[in-house]
Amino acid sequence: MLPQIRNGSVNKLDETLLTRLPPFSLLDRPQIRTILDQATSRRYDEGSTVFGEGMAADRFYLLLDGTIRVVRTTPTGEQIIALHIGPGQLFGIAPALARDTYPATAVAAAECVTLSWPVRLWGDFVASYPGFATESNRTLGARLGEMQNRITELATQQVEQRVAACLLRMVNQSGRKVATGIEISFPITRQNISEMTGTTLHTVSRLLSAWEREGIVESTRRRIVVTAPHRLVVLSGPAGQV
């Protein structure tokens, strides 16, 4: 459980709380303390924008708690949810991509707590803390792999497969056990799912309603519980495995 952090204050944040987080896991406590002393903390309410696509990348971030939704806007103005980022991960790391602007918008999918640093410190951190650089590269690799998988899904899979794979991805990332199954831990709407899978709200609603009747999921306006994960695995596979 993270301590209550006031915006801007990290003085009371114990560095031992961060030793298990990937960007810090290879560093010793004095190194973590040095990094924390240069950080700014902030809480974001659900729905708040941390930064916008195309804005000057002046800071990079570490998510301590909550979920960040990464949104891209197409040339025609449509919004596409590219991915979700969970606690302990870096985001807004434009300098790692050799960019001076943010490539996407970061929105708090649930209440979030972040640490951030001026972008001018990125090169110092990478040069001075090999563990930080290693974990940053690993983060980039994982996200690129996820995006490649998403592109493959959009190009090769039917809508039902894409929606099933989308739900499984969120369950694997942030699922928590409840009495009836595994609940996606952050608020998620049918519109969100349509934006993640390249399909219409009507199609997502139709599929989820059918899966509810079959006992595969339970859904409300902003919550989804997967009650039969093995059925979703089958539905997300090659056509015909139903």
* HEC-encoded secondary structure of the chain: CCCCCCCCCCCCCCHHHHCCCHHHCCCCHHHHHHHHCCCEEEEECCCCEEECCCCECCEEEEEEECCEEEEEECCCCCEEEEEEECCCCEECCHHHHCCCECCCEEEECCCEEEEEEEHHHHHHHHHHCHHHHHHHHHHHHHHHHHHHHHHHHHHHCCHHHHHHHHHHHHHHHHEEEECCEEEECCCCCHHHHHHHHCCCHHHHHHHHHHHHHCCCEEECCCCEEECCHHHHHHHHCCCCCC
Q: What is the pLDDT of residue 240?
A: 39
pLDDT tens-digit map of 144-179: 777 777 777 777 789 999 999 999 999 988 889 999
Round to whole Å and give the CA distance between 233 and 171. 11
The three-point CA angle 88-181-198 to 5° equals: 65
Round to whole Å and give the CA distance between 108 and 117. 18
Round to whole Å and give the CA distance between 179 and 188. 19
For the chain, give the percent of residues with pLDDT over 70. 93
Which range (11-15, 166-170, 222-226) has the least confidence? Answer: 11-15
CA dihedral 188, 192, 7, 28 (to 10 degrees): 80
From 212, 196, 213, 214, select the one nearest 159 (Cα to Cα). Answer: 196
pLDDT at 37 over 80: yes
pLDDT at 1 over 50: no
Radius of gyration of the chain (CA): 19
Residue 69, strand partner residues: 84, 107
pLDDT tens-digit map of 69-81: 999 888 888 888 8
CATH architecture of 15-147: Sandwich (2.60)
Domain ranges of the chain: 15-147, 157-236
The CATH number that domain 157-236 falls under is 1.10.10.10
> What does pTM read for this prediction?
0.83
Round to whole Å and give the CA distance between 23 and 89. 7
